[in-house]
Chains A and B, each alone.
Chain A
């Protein structure tokens, strides 16, 4: 259905009382017999006039422009959506009056079924001149020379992977990070104790990795699986970054995908060369959330977290969006083929920041991180190699991985072979048996402190051990020179299975680019002067005082555009307000609204402190309690239950819930 047809249909369905009042106001007396379609055609003709367009625009003030801009940026929002957007910005009751007024002024209308708010079709082009992004989002052109690279990078993740693979239980049973782990991580990852939201980077990252299922706490044992990390590595660099940030912002794993989408949209929407304030950013987030349907709960300190992630930069009391946070070219290879690794003869390995993530995972899998920095320092040691071999990687694969990326000194390869040869020479099998190869059997065969714990020698080099003594005989194995003492190998049946659901977004979103900065916020005419001129030019001689008052009220509310609309004021006026001591008047108005449709009550309650408190109420009943009447209803728009003694009400005002719907 075209916009014009839809508008006409909405008008036809208006209750007669409202319909005729509109017609009378804008196109004059309605003569019988009448045809509603003809009347609508007359109104349409009125609205098509350039003179009318000019006047309507000249009466649009900045508060109108703000609401109209929101309607445009939210793409025909429903009433509820509009209220949601302006939550904490405009009091619901004021917003209600504003929307109703714009409907009465025929600037907007709404479809009673979908409750979507639209611009009146004949005016939409004219209104487009008023609608500006800047009316609700104050983006200030901003040039900065500051660059701030993100710290939560792929290279950082590789370091975490290497470290966490070596420290399988970073968490305390009661929650939080173990002190030993926290101390070590502070030494390995400088700056990891920096504040991050309400916590530290350390806590936040470990929580985020857990939400991403890259760390899997399970019955007091946290596991890090190379398969999980490789699967994560298969995302594009952009998606890895977005998912990681989302995991820092999410309150539950289920929300990560949604928040990752939200971040992508924000990244696409916010121009790089503008600054904004905190309120503006909140509005942008609301806009994106509403427009994209991404409504997952964000952690309360999300703004601070975005700053801490370097996604938002805080500079000179202003903020700007750091596009580098998502795609940072600063750490690219200086030469296209420069190796991302340096393998040193002292078994240290320098890992450069441009290493491809999965390649990095595969080499870091067999190394221990020593210090993370711009160039990270790793070290090959026996335990780290054993870890990779335990995960089913062969030493040939490990060598190939290094050799594919950098020249490798002979002693490095020698050590890999020597340690691989040693790997598996001592095994501990669940049951529990210690099995020692012939090469190393002599090391423990005659070592009394270990032999004391042997229950029975099952075969040469195969010892049955007591599970209860495990810590003791493990210590003796270490003392005998078996280092590292291997983990106990469990049989397939005992294998811990994980919920493999991974909570990350695996595809790019199609960004909605809806923030188009224009020439700045709309600067309205002096609407008061326009209204004064209308009143001055009108011939009010024939009107009674009440009619003159009504005319002035209508001019003030901008439903009178021209002086010749003076006849509109002749219409019957009804009492819509009761206040002060007019108890009966207040009761009557409440009763009227209870009986009628399409109206609500604006109540000004006298609070205990004396400060007036406004409510917009949809009344449900007027109950008698002892000698007092109590108004029972629900508040608009949130639907909360409310009970107020009529005696406590200062003002009762009958208002429409909407022109086009109840």
Chain B
């Protein structure tokens, strides 16, 4: 625990286990460091950050060797007001559950032992159908668990409130040398930033059982790929990297080639275009979940077994498709790193990411990196525009879904886009939208290239390359560019439509312009006034406003 100056009380302990941290208090930083082992950052708006002591965060703290006294002393030390009584009880009760169920190695190959000394807990476990089917009695106080059920059993036991202390060792995988360069192949100086090293260290832990799996949450543009490479350097093993699309695969390949000593021949692409399995292999989620029909198996899941991987990196882990959850549950003996900026899943499966890939090991508020200059300062605007008269009646008589579409495709948005582009003559601009007809019309209007799902990979690469090189200043993109596309010079994004109220999409789109550069970034979201789009827009903005971004709303006068 860090030594606090005099009495600083930046913390408000709420009875629901959330912790509000006053960022203006002199004790903010010191308190933040001290609570981070047992509380997760949930929101970081301008004045007051919210952390949460969830069962998972408390169990992770217990697994890292912290006890309830440490947690409660820390809370009392920084708390501005009396700590609510129920919090003490709840922290003790929750943490006391950790370590009662232990997973250890078995002599029998292909199996692990679940040790449960307490008879009542054993009875509860045996009596829970979803758990009982994964275990068979073993000795006086334990159960046998099949190796490939390691993830599932942990997931199911967490659901009934018994976290597993996983003491079975992880597999090392086949060794492979990974070394980061000090100077990139392209000739620039390269150092891993402090927060990137810290994230890698937090993931790696002490190297003992209980470490080596987890999720790192960093803002878009903060260099999560570098964190991945720093982890690879620590692991020195064959690594499988899973990412969202082919462009992202190529970005990883380029980055690894540029910033590590790895021979490009040792880096394999496993996508629809190529199926090369090398010590470092990069694949897309799409290829993994491809199958001939709905009844068939997933043939590419065999990739997980084709080498002795020692590390799997899940890039943009918030997008992990459901079938990959299943296979992830089976490969719990391998080190797993999840990378994301926005662990917001509209399907509510964020908890599954934590329990299967691993708990959140590192998180940093977006605005903090902005303050330090590691991501660009961004200004967000919402522009409201009326529907034209000829769209009002079709809008009025449309059903809910159609209403949203009419509002999204409001033709006046084209006119506004044109004006905004004109207002930013020096910037690299992305026009992002949902509806292909609308995007095509805008691209035509502006006479700029367009990338959609139908654009062949080679053409996409070419357009991105031109954009990065400055040959093209404006591109129109569909949701294919929502994630993982690194366009360092983009400084303006104009969002003309989106996927209903998706918070994650909004944040990822802003993320496309957050790479630090000489100029500030500007994000515009154009919304039809007096339509359902207003409400969806408000919902989309929630994640970013919770990260401290402010939207300036203005009415666009088209008269």
Q: Which residues of A contact B (CB under 8 A)?
A: 147-149, 190-191, 330-331, 334, 342, 344-347, 350, 353, 371, 373-375, 409-411, 414-415, 422, 439-440, 442-448, 479-481
B45–A346 CB distance below 8 A? yes
Partner of B403, one of A190, A414, A439, A481: A481
Bound: A375/B392 CA distance, A? 43
CA–CA, A375 and B10, complex, Å: 13
B82 touches A330 (CB 8 A): yes
Partner of A440, one of B18, B382, B530: B530
A331 to B15, CA, bound (A): 14
A353 to B15, CA, bound (A): 14
> Does residue B320 face the partner (Cβ distance < 8 Å to A)?
no
Chain B contacts for A350, CB-based, 8 A: 20, 48
Q: Which residue of B lies closest to A406 (CB)?
A: B47
Bitwise, B25-54 to A at CB < 8 A (1) or not (0) is 000000000000000000001111000000
CB distance from A241 to the nearest CB of B (A): 18
Interface residues on B, range: 35 or more
- Which residues of B line the A interface, CB within 8 A? 9, 12-16, 18, 20, 45-48, 80-82, 84-86, 382, 392-393, 395-397, 400, 403, 530-532, 538, 541-542, 545-546, 549-554
Inter-chain contact A334/B9, CB cutoff 8 Å: yes
A342 near B47: Cβ-Cβ < 8 Å: yes
Please give, as numbers and ranges, the residues of chain B lying within 8 Å of A448 by CB-CB distance. Answer: 397
Given A345-B45, A411-B551, list of 10 further CB < 8 A pairs?
Answer: A191-B15, A330-B81, A346-B546, A350-B20, A375-B14, A411-B553, A442-B392, A443-B530, A446-B393, A447-B397
- CA gap between A205 and B31 in the complex, in Å: 37
Inside 8 A of B18's CB, which chain A residues have their CB? 373
A329 CB to closest chain B CB, in angstroms? 11
Contacts of A190 in B (CB 8 A): 15-16
A347 to chain B, nearest CB (A): 7
- B553 and A415 contacting across the interface, CB-CB below 8 Å: yes
- A345→B545 contact, CB < 8 A: yes
Contacts of B15 in A (CB 8 A): 190-191, 373-374
Chain A residues with Cβ below 8 Å from B9 are 334
- B86 near A191 with CB under 8 A, answer yes
Contact of A374 (CB < 8 Å), options: B14, B85, B382, B530 = B14
A-B residue pairs, 8 tightest by C-beta: A346-B545, A373-B14, A414-B553, A442-B392, A345-B550, A345-B545, A411-B553, A446-B396
The main secondary structure of chain A at its interface with chain B is loop
Instruction: Determine if A444 and B396 form an interchain contact, defined as CB atoms under 8 angstroms apart.
Output: yes
Q: Chain B residues with Cβ under 8 A from A410's Cβ?
A: 550, 552-553
- For A147, A149, A414, A445, which residue has the most chain B Cβ atoms within 10 angstroms? A414
Nearest B residue (CB) for A381: B538
For B400, list chain A residues within 8 Å (CB).
479
Q: Nearest chain B CB to A339's CB is how many angstroms away?
A: 9
B84 and A374 contact, CB distance less than 8 A: yes
Inter-subunit contact B530/A439 (CB<8 Å): yes
- Which chain A residues lie closer than 8 Å to B16 at the CB level? 190, 371, 373
* Chain A neighbourhood of B550, CB < 8 A: 345, 409-411
Cα separation A390 to B464 with both chains bound (whole Å): 54
CA distance A149 to B14 in the complex (A): 14
| Complex Cα gap A48–B505 (Å) | 98
Q: Across the two chains, which residue of chain B brings its CB closest to A353? A: B81
Cα(A330)–Cα(B85), bound, Å: 14
Residues A442 and B541 in contact, CB atoms below 8 Å apart: no
- A480→B397 CA distance, assembly (Å): 8
Least CB separation from A443: chain B residue: B396
The CA-CA distance from A371 to B541 in the complex, in Å, is 21
Contact A374 B81 (CB under 8 A): yes
Give CA–CA (A374, B15) in the complex, Å: 7
CA of A411 to CA of B384, assembled, Å: 12
Partner of B552, one of A191, A342, A411, A422: A411
Residue of B nearest to A371 (CB): B16
Residues on A with C-beta less than 8 A from B80 are 334
Q: Which residues of B sit under 8 angstroms from A371, Cβ to Cβ?
A: 16
Closest CB of chain A to B89's CB: distance in Å? 12
Closest residue of A by beta carbon distance from B553:
A414
- In contact, B397 and A148 (Cβ under 8 angstroms): no
**Measured between C-beta atoms, what is the minimum distance from A343 to chain B in Å?**
9
User: Which single residue of chain B is at the shortest CB-CB distance from A352?
Assistant: B12
CB distance from B200 to the nearest CB of A (A): 32
User: Within the assembled complex, what's the spacing in Å between the Cα atoms of A373 and B532?
Assistant: 32
Q: Report the separation of the CA atoms of residues A94 and B545 in the bound assembly, to the nearest whole angstrom.
A: 76
